[in-house]
Structure formats: structure tokens, C-alpha cells
Structure 1
Amino acid sequence: MSIRLHIGLAALAMLLFVASLLIGPAALDPLTSLKGLIAGGGEAAIIIMREIRLPRALLGVMIGASLGLSGAALQGFLRNPLAEPGIIGVSATASLGAVVVFYTGIAGASIFVLPAGALVGATVAVLLLLAIAAGNTTTLTLILAGVALTSLAGALTSLVLNLSPNPFASYEIIFWLLGSLKDRSMVHVWICLPLMAAGWILILLSGRALDALSFGEETAASLGVDMARARLMIVGGVALCVGAGTAVTGAIGFVGLVVPHLVRPLTDRMPSRLLVPSALGGAALLLAADIAARVVVPERELNVGVLTALIGAPFFLWLVIRSRREAI
């Protein structure tokens, strides 16, 4: 079942990746698109395929996989089905870093400035969380620290919007905060790929610890799991994945919440067995949402973060209601 699930989800993600390359406002037939991507073709086709659609599709795969993987890891680590990547505060602090760059007016100086600002914000959250995780702390402490970081970053972001003297800058800030894959280049892909790859490795290497943690922290420790090391690896991996993604696309929520719940019934429910399927499912879901963002309102493309929120918010409410019923 596991192999078939992996193959099926990989095939779905690949199909949606190809669809993402072929769908867009420019009316290119599949043959022209393929030539523009691989064999050359006309200059317009080359620019559209290699500089616009390919980076967008690659970021959809990378960020979707990162969010799905991070969500599965956090739900196993915190033993909470309502956990998702934004809970540790990295998305909010990365967004704050980008908003500060917008506010200071230096966002247009270079393509690297905006991602750099977001990465600085994410790094601050990572260092704080790792300092907390390195001590003799509990998962509840990490959750509370993440909630505090998210609240503080949200308040500071609102303050920057309130103080912004330029309405156009405020519009740009709000638009970026909605999350989008459009107007990104291969530079953005190379900015976030090394950080995400490091996060993927840390999370995947934590599979045994996640399985042990499903029986509780005391049981995991009795099985030989180094809890401090496990916290560092999981929190660090999630922070790298989420921070790098937010740095180039803005905040895209709920993918990490929804996907693990969709694929969990198809696995044996052990946290380690959920990681790879959640990554593949996350890539497929974000690609599908990005395609929908282009075709739902063709004359005015939607931000993909809006669509994922429209999908995820009702799903989250359903999970809360179901959890309440099960607790009664």
C-alpha cells in the first residue's frame, strides 16, 4: 500500500506540474510550450516557459512539499491534529521582515532584498525557537512561544501598515501578504531551494523520534530518543522549510493542515510513514490551487494564498467540531 500510495501521489503531482506549465494567459499550444521549454523555439515561447511558468511550477512543488511535510511533522511532534506550520511563528516573523523592507522603500533595489528581509525575520524566530527547544522544555512551551511570536509579529505588521505614509506601499504589502507564486523567477527558486533541502533532511531524519513521540515524551525518552536533539531537528527543519517558502511567496496557509489529514487514512498512521506522502500531497494540492487561481477568474488572477485559505478554513472548523464531538 505504501509504495502504491507514493507512486500515485507522485504521478498526481507530476501531472499537475505539467498542467501548470501548460496553463496560462498566453495561448501556447502544448508543442510550442515544449519547444520553448526544451528545444528553443520562438523567443516569446522561451521567455514564457523558462522565465515565467517553469519557476512558478517549481516553486509550487517545493513550497507545497515543504508545507505538507512540515504539517505532518508538527502534528506528530505535538500530537495534535490541529497543528500546522504557522503555529511556530516563523511564517508571521518572515512576513514581518518582508513588510519592514517594503516600509523602508528598499524592496525595489534588488530582487534579493525582499527575500533577504523575510529570511532575516524567519531567522530571528528560528534562533528564538531553537534556544527554547535546546533547553529542558516541553512541547506546550514551544506552542506557547510560537503563539506569542505569531501575535507579536502580527501586531508589528499591523503597526507598519498603520504608519505607512504611502498608500501604494500599503497595497503592495497587503498583496504580498496574501501569498502568490506568480511573477517569480529562477532566482527565487535558487534562493529557497538550499534552505528547504536542509529542512527536508532534518525532518525526514526525525522519523524514528516522531514514531516514539506518538506514545508520549516519557515513553520516547525511555526508548532512547534524545528529546532535546529531536526538538532541535524538527523545529529547525520546519522553520527552514516555512521561512524559506514565505521569503519568496508570502504566507500560504492551511496546506500543512489539510494534506496530512487527507493522506493519513491511506497509511498505517505512524508519523514517519506520513512524511513523504504528505510532501507529495502538499505539492499536488498547491499546484492544483495555483492552477485554479489562474482559471477561476482569468481576467484577474487570484492569489493562491486566498484559495488555500478558502479551502483550509472550513476544513479547520470541521476538524475542531469533530474533535469536540470525539471528546464528549
Structure 2
Amino acid sequence: MTSPSSLYPVLIGTLSCLLVGLFVLSLGIGQVWIDPTLLWSSIGDPSSAEAIILSEIRLPRAVLAVMIGAILGLSGAVLQGFLRNPLAEPGLLGISATASLGAVLAIYSGLTAFHAYALPLSALVGAFLAVFLLQALVGRTGDILTIILAGVALSSLSAALTSLILNMSTNPFAALEIVFWMMGSLADRSLVHISLAGPFIVVGGALLLSTAPALDALSLGADVAQSLGVSLQRTRTITILGTAIGVGAATAVAGAIGFVGLIVPHVLRPLVGQKPGRLLPASALGGAVFLLAADIFVRVIIPERDLKLGVVTAILGAPFFLWLLVSLRSRSS
């Protein structure tokens, strides 16, 4: 029988091929179809309609789908490995909620009317605020349960404040913009959004990937990991900081897109064996593939309506979450 370890290169190769194929398809598909075989030639003629559509609309959307899907999948795998909680995902730490709150405050206060970068920058400030609050709540010797409870508290508080802002908003257009933004979308994004979020996502991803050896040691138990020289405090700081930087930047430009970090690691975990470190690159590729496919689905299923990407991931993720709960309950009984 073939072991998961021997199939790991095949898995990485398959995911990479799927990613390239979906990326090309994402560039070609839309209300105006562009033959993928003509993509490079159309880019060479910047005055053509195809080149404008590619460079201004579809290329930024596809690149953001890859980056955001990768950081969501990667952060979910790291959090599940570090917290040793199969239900962990980026939203568990409250980072997505606080980033969303920052963006909502920018819309409500009217800052978005004065500066084009006000919304994503406010969301990033909210994400970094979550890091400081988590570190303050958890402390230097905080355990895993404390981290989870602190994250739940931040999520609840951010959600309550967001609801309060919506309730107090006297501008119906601002309220509508807030609601639409919170649904999550990659539509109407530009290269500016890539330049703003890209560096943060790369740095956050690098930090999260660096936790792979520690996660492999933690799979043997916290005491064994510490005896092998793993610093739990350092690993915790890198995990929280990497998630905040990467997921905060993703939320800043795309809104709230949930369940990617929950679904992807669970689907891929049986295929990578018992080493959590191997799950990290696979989850990054799998998250990019998942979000690219979901974004293509959004454009194909109802092309005349602006179906939000976050709605689709939630529709797919909620039943998966319920199935996971039932599965975990049946294993424990």
C-alpha cells in the first residue's frame, strides 16, 4: 500500500498544475471571453480591449485570489497544528473580525471619501490592534485555551461594535457599502490592491511557514516539543503575528472570506501523512486552488448579478463545519 509520504510530491505537483490551469482559466473567463491561447499576444498589444481587460480587471483579481486563498489555507493549517484544535481557523483569533471593524469604521466615518487607501489601511490597523490585544490578554505564559477564549472575546466584541455602527448609520448608502464589503469579494480590485496587500501577505506567509519544524515537534506533545528545544512562546508569537499580518492584509482588500482555512487543511491532511509541517505548503496551494475555483464559480453561476465570494465560501463551509462536528462527536463516542 502506498504511504501518504510517498504520494506527497504527487500531491504538490497536482495542486500546482491545478493552480496554473485555474489561473489561466480565471484570466480567460468572464462576460467577455478571451481565448487563453491569445493571452500573451493580447498583453503584448496594450491598446487592445483584451489587454485592458486582462491588466485592469482579471489579472489583479486572479493574483489576489491566489494570494488570499494561499494565506487563508496556510494560516488555518498552522492554527490547527499549534492550537491542536481541528476547528481552528483564522477567524478564531478575532483577527478577521477586528480587521473588518477597522474597515467598517473607515466607511462609517467617511474616510474612504478622502483617501483611496483609507479602507485597506484601516483594516490593517484593526488586524494589528488584534495582535496587541491578544498578546495582552494571553500574557507571557498563556495556554492554548486562553488564546482561544481571547480570540472568541475579540470576535464577539468586534461583531457587536460592527452591528452597532450599522445600527447608528444614518447614511443608507454607507450602510449598504458596509454590508456588501463584509460579504467579501474580489470584484473591481486593481494592481493597487496587490501592491498594498501583497508584501504583508508574503511576510505573513513566510512567518507561518517557519513554524513547520515546531509544529512537527508539537505533534508529539508540548512536553516533548520543549525537550527538543521548541519555544512555545516564540511559536505562539510567530503564529499570531503571521496570521495577523497575512489574514489582516487579505481582509483589508477583499473583505471577510471565511471557512477556507477550515476546509482546505482538513481535506488535505489525510493525504500528507502525520507530519503537520508537510501540510503547510499543501494547504497554501490548496487554499489558492479553492479560492480561484470559487471565484470562477461566482462569475459563471450568475454572471448578471454580483454574487459575493464570501457568500459562496460560507455556503460551502457551513455544511462542512457541521459534518466535521458530527464526525468528531462520533469518534469521541
Q: TM-score range by the shorter chain?
A: over 0.9
Check whether the contact 1:258–1:312 (CA below 8 A) recurs between aligned residues: yes
Counterpart contact for 2:123–2:251, Cα < 8 Å: yes
Counterpart code for 1:218: D
Q: Where does residue 50 of structure 1 map in the other structure? A: 55
TM-score, normalization: structure 2?
Answer: 0.95
Gaps of at least 5 residues in structure 2 are: 1-6
Structure-2 residue corresponding to 1:174: 179
Cα distance in 1, alignment partners of residues 158 and 254 from structure 2: 18
Q: Which of these residues, 8, 13, 34, is aligned with residue 28 of structure 1?
A: 34
* 1:116-154 per-position Cα deviation (integer Å, ceiling 9, x unaligned): 111111110012223455601101111111000000000
- Report the Cα distance in structure 2 between the residues aligned to 1:208 and 1:231, rounded to whole angstroms: 13
2:124 corresponds in structure 1 to 119
**Distance 1:110-1:25 versus aligned 2 partners, 3 A rule:** farther
Pair 1:20–1:181, CA change in 2 (3 A) = same
The residue aligned with 2:262 is: 257
Secondary structure of the residue aligned to 1:188 is helix
Q: Please, which of 13, 18, 33 is the counterpart of residue 12 of structure 1? A: 18
Give the stretch that moved more between structures: 62-71 or 194-203.
Answer: 194-203
Contact 2:27 2:36 in 1 (8 A): no
**Alpha-carbon distance in 2 for matches of 1:105, 1:152:** 22
Once structures 1 and 2 are overlaid, which stretch shifts more, 170-179 or 264-273?
Answer: 264-273
Corresponding position: 1:205 with 2:241:
no
Work out the CA distance in 2 between the residues paired with 1:205 and 1:24. Answer: 38
8 A contact 1:35–1:41 mirrored in 2: no
Gaps of 5+ in 1: none
Counterparts of 1:289-328 in structure 2, within 5 Å, are 289-328=294-333
Q: CA deviation at 1:44?
A: 2.3
Further displaced range: 206-215 or 276-285 = 206-215
Of 256-265 and 38-47, more deviation after overlay is shown by: 38-47
Give the corresponding residue for 1:157: 162
Between the two proteins, the alignment pairs up a number of residues equal to 327
How far off is 1:204 after superposition? 1.1
Q: Give the Cα–Cα distance (whole angstroms) in 1 for the partners of residues 274 and 60 of structure 2.
A: 34
Maintained 8 Å contact 2:73/2:262: yes
The Cα offsets for residues 167-220 of structure 1, whole Å up to 9 and x where unpaired, read as: 111110000000000100011001111111111111111111111112222222
What do the CA deviations read for 1:85-106 (whole angstroms, capped 9, x no partner)?
Answer: 1100000000000000110112
Report if the CA contact (8 A) 1:66-1:241 is conserved. yes
CA distance 1:133–1:196, shift in 2 (3 Å): farther
- Change in CA separation of 1:196 and 1:295 when aligned onto 2, cut-off 3 Å: same
Partner SS, residue 267 of structure 2: helix
Matched position secondary structure for 1:107: helix
2:69 and 2:288 in contact (8 A); partners too: yes
Structure 1 window deviating more from structure 2 (48-57 vs 126-135): it is 126-135
Query: Which one is further off, 290-299 or 128-137?
Result: 128-137
CA contact (8 A) 2:71 2:284 kept: yes
TM-fit CA distance, 1:240: 1.1
Do structure 1's residue 62 and structure 2's residue 99 form an aligned pair?
no
Shift of 1:31: 4.7
Q: Tell me which amino acid in the other structure corresponds to 1:18.
A: V
Q: What is the aligned partner in structure 1 of residue 105 from structure 2?
A: 100
